Amino acid sequence: MIKKIIILIISLFLHSANANNVNYSYIEAKYKFYYKNIKAGEMYLKITKDKDRIEIDTLYDGNILAKLGSRDYRHERSTIQIKDNKYIPLNYFYKDNKSSYKISYNSSKEIILQDEGTNEDMALVINSKKDIHDPLLMLVKIMNSYPNIDNSFETISKGRLKTYNYSFKDNQTININNIKYEGFTAEYKSGKKTNKYFFSKNHHNLMIQTKIIKKGDERLRIVLSEIISIK
């Protein structure tokens, strides 16, 4: 009986995700991204915390190479409320060269997905037995809550609900532009692709690098080039 109570307490602690423990108000960083080891453009990340709200924004600005593959533009934005030590997603926006949609949350387990330019009666309602995350909400949770975080998450990816099972590794290091970063890695598989992330513990767990590997070959790499501001 005591063992069950201890397990329950630990579970509740993990799910609370320490949302109030956010000790920054603004982060802005610039990255370079590569397709198959060839530079394809830059990505910009902004995270703003104002009282009980967090807004995270990413923008991909591709070069001619990315444009040839119709991958020269992508914009994402997520708005999250902090309430009762939990992250409450409010809305999410996605746009690239081919599609554009927005997501609003009826609850943490039910979302409304509406394509840009369509009527509300054409919107898609998606339900899940677990909390639904957009990709930027997922990033915020990992940054702010690790290691007190679950391993499995229901996530919307390009309009589709997927289950991602993460594995984490502590005490990892990486060298980028002759700078050594210490932190942890996160990894999950999606079909034939493996997604790998590195987060720096000395920069509020900021994402330093992302890789997508398919059949042993690197398809995409996003690497930090400059931390513009951390407040």
DSSP string, 98-128: S-EEEEEEEETTEEEEEETTS-GGGPEEEE-
pLDDT of the residue at 20: 60
Dihedral pair phi/psi, residue 91, rounded to 5°: -160, 165
User: What is the CATH architecture of 21-230?
Assistant: Beta Barrel (2.40)
Contact 47, 140 (CB under 8 A): yes
* pTM summary value: 0.89
Give 231's contacts (C-beta < 8 A, 6+ positions apart): 24, 25, 26, 27
Task: Give the model confidence (pLDDT) of 15-58 as tens digits.
Answer: 444 576 788 999 999 999 999 999 999 999 999 999 999 999 99
* Dihedral, 135, 136, 137, 141 alpha carbons, nearest 10: 100
Domain assignments of the chain as residue spans, ordered by start: 21-230
Residue 69: C-alpha distances to residues 72, 99, 159, 197 (Å): 8, 15, 20, 24
Task: Give the model confidence (pLDDT) of 54-103 as tens digits.
Answer: 999 999 999 987 888 778 899 999 999 999 989 999 999 999 999 999 99
Nearest to 92 by CA among 159, 31, 33: 159
The dihedral through the CA atoms of 148, 186, 80, 112 has a sign that is negative
Give dist(CA 178, CA 33) in Å, integer.
Answer: 18
- 14 pLDDT more than 50: no
Contact 22, 49 (CB under 8 A): yes
Give dist(CA 5, CA 194) in Å, integer.
Answer: 36
Contact 193, 210 (CB under 8 A): no
> What tokens appear for 92 in the block?
């999410």
